[in-house]
Amino acid sequence: MRVLERLAPAHRRPQFRRALAAVGHTLRRWMVGITIAMAVVGALTGVGLWLLGIPAALALAVLPGLFEFIPFWGPILAAIPGVALAFVVSPLHALWTALLYTAVQQIEGNVLHPLVMRGAVRLPPAATLLFQLLMALVFGFLGLLLAVPVLAAARAFLREWERAEGEERPGAERVAGRGGDGPRAAAA
């Protein structure tokens, strides 16, 4: 961290230090949130596959848990091997397995993710998806894996930097809705 601090001009180092601390805090919250989501998705998938009688249910349940790390695309990638193996058992098993993966994804996206990640990081879904596509195009699969934490870190850094800039300038107008003289402040 000291090496990074030296990149900033001397008069900006305290501001830079606070921005880096905000990034660390955001990434820790994101990691806790994603770990909880990974465990729940893996457990739900494992139980569902076991109840359907799909061979290697435990091994197949690990994939959705791990691929939970990749928002939007992870569940699709994780479902492919499970549905393919279920198809070997029977086409009806493949259909039920596809429905299971869809149900788990719906639970994750509509219940689990909002509950667990609400306090972790608040990233707009459209910006997240576009950033994932950009990172995947530029850096391949590794870019896809790292897109969300990089975006969360960049957002935390810029927000803290902007907040510190506002505090540094006495009498400077603040953006509406961020504790300044905007409409929300007037209504309070």
Contact assessment for residue 93 and residue 82, using Cβ atoms and an 8 Å cutoff: no
Contact assessment for residue 36 and residue 107, using Cβ atoms and an 8 Å cutoff: no
Helical H segments across the chain, by residue range? 2-5, 13-52, 57-67, 74-89, 91-107, 113-117, 125-139, 141-168, 183-187
- Give dist(CA 24, CA 26) in Å, integer: 5
The residues spanned by each domain of the chain are 2-180
Question: Residue 182 has what pLDDT?
Answer: 38
Contact assessment for residue 101 and residue 78, using Cβ atoms and an 8 Å cutoff: yes
Taking alpha carbons only, the member of 21, 37, 62 closest to residue 120 is 37
Question: Residue 9 has what pLDDT?
Answer: 72
Instruction: Note the Cα 12 to chain centre separation in Å.
Output: 30
3-state secondary structure 103-147: HHHHHHHHHHHHHHHCCCCCCCHHHHHHHHHHHHHHHCHHHHHHH
Question: Residue 90 has what pLDDT?
Answer: 94
Question: Residue 37 has what pLDDT?
Answer: 86
Phi first, then psi: give them for residue 54, nearest 5 degrees: -80, 130
pLDDT tens digit string along 79-115?
999 999 999 999 999 999 999 999 998 888 778 776 7
Cβ of 167: how many Cβ atoms within 10 Å? 12
Type of residue found at 142: L
Question: Residue 171 has what pLDDT?
Answer: 55
Q: Average pLDDT over the chain, rounded to whole?
A: 81
Q: Length of the chain, please? A: 188
Q: Give the angle subtended at the CA of 153 by the CAs of 151 and 117, to the nearest 5°.
A: 80
What is the arithmetic mean of pLDDT over 102-131? Answer: 78
